[in-house]
Structure 1
Amino acid sequence: MSTFSLERVACDRMLGLAVRGRLADSLLMRANTARPHLSAAFLATKDDPYPAYAELRARGPLTRAELGQWLVTGHGAVSALLRDGRLESRMPAEYTRLTLGDSPGVDFLHRIVLTRTPPEHTRLRRFIGRALGTPVVRRLHDRIAAATDALLEPALDRGRLDVVTELAVPLPVGVVCDLIGIPTGDRPAVLTRVTALAKVFDAANLSPADLADINTALPWLHDYFGDLLAVRRAGSGGPTLTEMYWEESASDRLAVADFVDNMLFLFHAGFETTMGLVSNGVAALLNNPEQLGRLRADPALVPSAVEEFLRYDAPIQNVIRVARKPVEVAGQKIRAGRTVLLLLGAANRDEEVFADAERLDVGRDPNPHLGFGGGLHHCVGTALARLMAVVVFERLVDRVTVLGPAAPAVRRRHASLRSYDHLPLAVAAR
């Protein structure tokens, strides 16, 4: 890929900040505009991006954005491209250096499973799958249920629950820390640094202070996980990923840097997706009380409700790909080197696939949503996120009466991830 193409890739991702000041409420330009000022990063930060997604879908499954970027909105096209080997998730080193500068975050992004290709991708997923595969996750049900109850008890006693900070974050953080093998006393410090590191995934909104946070957090985390690996070596053969690491033969064992960066990615992804799924789902039920009534009348609907929350207000709104080879979609050719934004949030409201797509339906069946992406790079924590969400909503439906908002909700602003920073509710025990 030429340097010019790489600069265009970087500009595409950074476009969110530059374009915001000149976007009108309607994010679509006239049909004959050759280079519309569209930014998927900006769309994802809106309180309600779905009307704009509907406008984009009305123009067809593929929309040209500024600087040659393509936005894909139709369910069929997004689903197909998620599985198309001509698109890759791995970003060139020049792209990340244009957005992150000379930062340790550059190497981090190029080591994680999200951006790797086979055979490295296969090795990493196999290793992570030992802790996050469906058979292992199913055995966590009782532990997750007990942890959920323990988090709800004090909230019910005081009559107030912040769904995000008191439930949707501490629950997955505790579970993922158990899986990795992070001692309880170390978890607050690790979470603080992982939260700072996570800013690397929002390049469109990075400030100099954010970049400084990344540059400080990552070396600390590498030192911490290196020490943790050394300590856990004495307990080789145990159930945690840091102990499983030493079970690998010397020839098969991941490099320490690869292991550490992927544990950091797993830590982040483990709570990020669940936080969005739970908080968005609770907000959807608050806005659709008749659907909450259906769940109370028939709790067996909770698993299908979780799938509907993933469709209706997906925690992952878009994923970025780069075309390795030319790809044709709906008669339009995407040239090699172009960035392609697959808008999962838009695809999940496609009326050609989902009847009454704008309506929340906790019993929707079938529900072929793309809330966790798809293809080679589908979310590694899918089974765990689903289980945690099912347990949480079973408990909320069974044990909690929502009396109303305790304070205004605070929507999180992120270029690709959709959730809340705070969702405070007045609650009582049922």
Structure 2
Amino acid sequence: MRQIPAKFDSNDPRVLDSPYTVYAEVRESGRLARGAAGQWVASHHADVSRLLKDRRLGHQYPAEYHEFSNGTGPANDFLQRIVLDQDPPTHTFWRRIMHHSFSPPLMRRLYGYVAGQVDELMSSALSRGHLDVVSDLAFPLPVTVVCELIGIPDVDREAVRPHAVELAKAFALYVRSEERQGAHEAVTWLRDYITTLVEERASRPADDLISNLLAAERETPELDRATLIDNVVFLFFAGFETTTNLISTTWSALLTNPEQLRLLRERPELAENAVAEMLRYDAPIQATARYVREPVEIDGRTVRAGRILVLLLGAANHDPARFDRPDELDITRDPNPHVSFGGGPHHCLGAALALVEGRAVVDWLARAAEPPRLNGPIIRRPSVSFRSYRSIPVTLCHGR
């Protein structure tokens, strides 16, 4: 008799708190689990890494899917316009245009600027003797960097912040009814704000992403203004949300695994390995979804066209079939084939930027005169799609 697949509920309180026990249960039950209505869930590393590259799966969803997930409102057409939720050739077109501003060589050249921003933020924290990692470092660092790249003025960054945080809700696998209005209102506010910036750059170009996109618009008739604006909104959000979570995880994981922090400080050359391990150990984005365009067979079951296939990145990163001691933090882990940046055509556009920012933070921790110490509880920000934090209170010492 065929085994009935397990059910994965992304809104289960256990998933919101610490999902890895649930992921283990789902993996052990088989290679395919049931999700919400019309969804199937893959959790094994071998399947997830392969399916991320499978051209039978797309990222462009029917309008009805967005309405089911988000309700009625402006977040729906926003999600249908952004590069994340497009398939080739539209996705290829937009990714080519944006690649100039986020290319790996350009991002690596930013290291000195990013490290300087880390030093400035941490110098201020050291003078106080304490910081909240989330509000004093993990959020302001990537926001400052992405605002610089896009062209958002310093004076506006605090005003933009709460709306960008609200926008995160729109990217959940299923948005709870009480959170939908906030996501729709965030899209409206951010669109209006970016529209004003775009109009300013149209008359006074600068060396930033908006000006680059406007130059492409003049040369490319099919590049429409509304889609340009929505993609700038998306790039602003994507440029800090994942990295904020990565930086927070880095501090949380090292402070709660002091032997690993000691090892990093003894062997600072492990910084690059450490960033990769943070991405694997507690992936900033826990799941991604694909729209099944053609039938896909997994473990003898056929997932029909028109279904949604959820790929549990966090579960794949803890699969004991691929990783030795997967639930342990090990900054010496090498190789580290984590799937936290996705794969295939939709490999994270901002991956190189996130690695530079993560490396700058790890380098600071490796060379700090004295190791930081927790001085209160670590508080999570509940999220279905992201491993987010609300507070990580830390005591700092200058050292001698």
TM-score (norm 2): 0.94
| Divergent runs of 4+, >4 A | none
Q: Are the counterparts in 2 of residues 111 and 261 from structure 1 also a CA contact under 8 Å?
A: yes
Q: 1:79 to 1:220 in 2, by over 3 A?
A: same
- Partner Cα separation in structure 1 for residue 10 and residue 295 of structure 2: 22
- CA 1:44–1:171 in structure 2 vs 1: closer, same or farther (change >3 Å)? farther
Structure 2 CA distance for partners of 1:332 and 1:99, relative to 1, 3 Å = closer
Query: Shift of the alpha carbon at 1:35?
Result: 6.4
- Of residues 232, 241, 245 in structure 1, which corresponds to 2:213? 245
| SS of the residue 2:332 aligns to | coil
Aligned length: 398
1:375 equivalent to 2:338? Answer no
Whether the aligned pair in 1 keeps the contact of 2:7 and 2:34 (CA below 8 Å) is no
SS of residue paired to 2:232:
helix
Task: Please say if 1:352 is aligned against 2:317.
Answer: no
CA distance in 2, matches of 1:101, 1:74: 31
Matched residue, 2:379: 410
Instruction: Tell me, yes or no, if the aligned pair for 1:35 and 1:65 is still in contact at 8 Å.
Output: no
Letter of the 1:243 counterpart:
S
Cα separation, 2, equivalents of 1:200 and 1:59 = 30
SS at match of 1:250: helix
Q: How far apart in 1 are the matches of 2:356 and 2:126?
A: 23
Percent sequence identity is: 43
Cα deviations across residues 47-66 of structure 1 (Å, max 9, x unaligned)? 32112212222223222345
Say if 2:365 is the partner of 1:392: no
Q: Which amino acid aligns with 1:385?
A: A
Alignment partner of 1:365: what SS? coil
Matches within 5 A, 1:90-239: 90-202=60-172, 204-208=174-178, 210-236=179-205, 238-239=206-207
RMSD: 2.0
The equivalent residue for 2:34 is 64
Cross-structure match for 1:53 = 23
Change (3 A) 1:47 1:102: closer
User: Residue 429 of structure 1 aligns to a residue in which SS?
Assistant: coil
In the TM superposition, what is the alpha-carbon distance from 1:205 to its structure 2 partner? Answer: 4.4
Cα contact 1:160–1:425 (8 A) shared by 2: yes
1:264 aligns with: 233
The superposition leaves residues 12-44 of structure 1 with CA deviations (integer Å, 9 ceiling, x where unpaired) of xxxxxxxxxxxxxxxxxxx98746442134378
Counterpart residue number, 1:74: 44
Partner of 2:395: 426
Q: Distance in 2 between matches of 1:288 and 1:67?
A: 39
Q: 2:155, 2:248 → 1: CA distance?
A: 26
Q: State which drifts further: 155-164 or 168-177.
A: 155-164
Q: Which amino acid aligns with 2:211?
A: E
SS of residue matched to 1:340: strand
User: Contact 2:44–2:316 at 8 Å: present in 1 too?
Assistant: yes
Does the aligned pair in 2 maintain the 1:45–1:414 contact within 8 Å?
no
Shift of 1:175: 0.5
- Partner amino acid, structure 2, of 1:353: R
Amino acid at match of 1:165: S
Contact 1:104/1:215, CA 8 A, preserved across alignment: yes
Q: Matched residues in 2 for 1:419 and 1:199: separation? A: 12
User: Deviation digits for residues 166-211 of structure 1, max 9, x if unmatched?
Assistant: 1011000000001111111112222222222232123634344x33
More off after superposition, 248-257 vs 221-230? 248-257
Residues 77 and 223 of structure 1, relative CA distance in 2, 3 Å threshold: same
- d(CA) in 2 for partners of 1:400 and 1:93? 54
Unaligned runs of 5+ in 1: 1-30
Q: Which of 305, 322, 337 pairs up with 2:274? A: 305
Q: 8 Å contact 1:69–1:340 — kept in the other structure?
A: yes
Matching residue's letter, 2:194: F
What is the CA deviation profile of residues 106-163 of structure 1, one whole-angstrom value per residue up to 9, with x for unaligned ones?
1101001110011111121112211111111122111111111111112111111111
Aligned residue in 2 for 1:332:
301
- SS of the residue corresponding to residue 203 of structure 2 reads helix
- CA shift for structure 1 position 419: 2.1
| Cα pair 2:246 2:278 within 8 Å, conserved | yes
The answer to whether 1:274 aligns with 2:243 is yes
| Pairwise CA distance, 1:372 | 1.0
TM-score (norm 1): 0.87
Q: For the Cα contact (< 8 Å) 1:42–1:415, is it kept in 2?
A: no
